[in-house]
Amino acid sequence: MKKSELFEQMKDQLQLKNINETPKVDKVVVSMGIGSIVTRKWHKDFEEFEKNLKTITGQKPQLCKSRKSISNFKLREGMPVMLRVTLRKSRATDFLDRVTKLVLPRIRDFAWVSKKSFDPQGNLNFGIANYAIFPELAVDAVTIPMGIQITVVTTAGTPEKAQIFLQDLGFIFK
């Protein structure tokens, strides 16, 4: 389905006056928490995670460091905590297309994305327990299984509008 046909269909579904009011994907944020890896003594190097995240998204991830120390988590200020990639425009839509058509069907016992995953602004947040299911990665590329968090930021404004929009993009909701 063409982009213009999709927007016309959404305009009718949401009963909007103007086609420019239809929701759009603003950005997609893909992040991976690596704080637990840093505190373990046996694995201080996370170049593997950085390389794999770059392969999945097509962009070099940004390393986020902790802002303050938390003794219960053995975390000190300035330690690496997370790898994050922000995808916009065509990269974001291509990534979402791959996630809906290739990755989510490969998850074992996957049935749907929960409606509770929306925040009040209409953004979708969901996690994937093991990033090794992405088809871009080779079987031997993943030595330590890690999860990733995907945030889809939309211009919908409400969870109901965002759900209709993301269903048209290929997401399945309960």
112 contacts 172 by C-beta, under 8 angstroms: yes
DSSP 8-state class, residue 155: S
Copy the structure tokens of residue 107: 């998850």
- pLDDT for res 100: 87
- pLDDT for res 7: 78
CB atoms within 10 A of CB 139: 6
Whether the pLDDT of residue 40 is over 70: the answer is no
- ∠ CA 84-89-90, rounded to 5°: 100
- pLDDT for res 41: 56
Nearest residue to 33 (alpha-carbon basis) of 9, 61, 69: 61
Mean pLDDT on 80-86:
87
Copy the structure tokens of residue 38: 């840093």
Residue type, 7: F
Mean pLDDT on 107-119:
76
92: alpha, beta or left? (left if phi > 0; alpha if psi -120 to 50): alpha
Q: What is the pLDDT of residues 49-63, one digit of tens each?
A: 888 889 888 899 998
The residue extents of the domains of the chain are 22-169
With cut-offs at 50, 70 and 90, classify the pLDDT of residue 16: confident
Mean pLDDT on 117-137:
85
With cut-offs at 50, 70 and 90, classify the pLDDT of residue 39: low
154 contacts 23 by C-beta, under 8 angstroms: yes
Q: Please give the CATH number for the structural domain made up of 22-169.
A: 3.30.1440.10
CB atoms within 10 A of CB 100: 16
Q: Are strands 62-65 and 124-128 parallel, antiparallel or unpaired?
A: unpaired
- pLDDT for res 87: 93
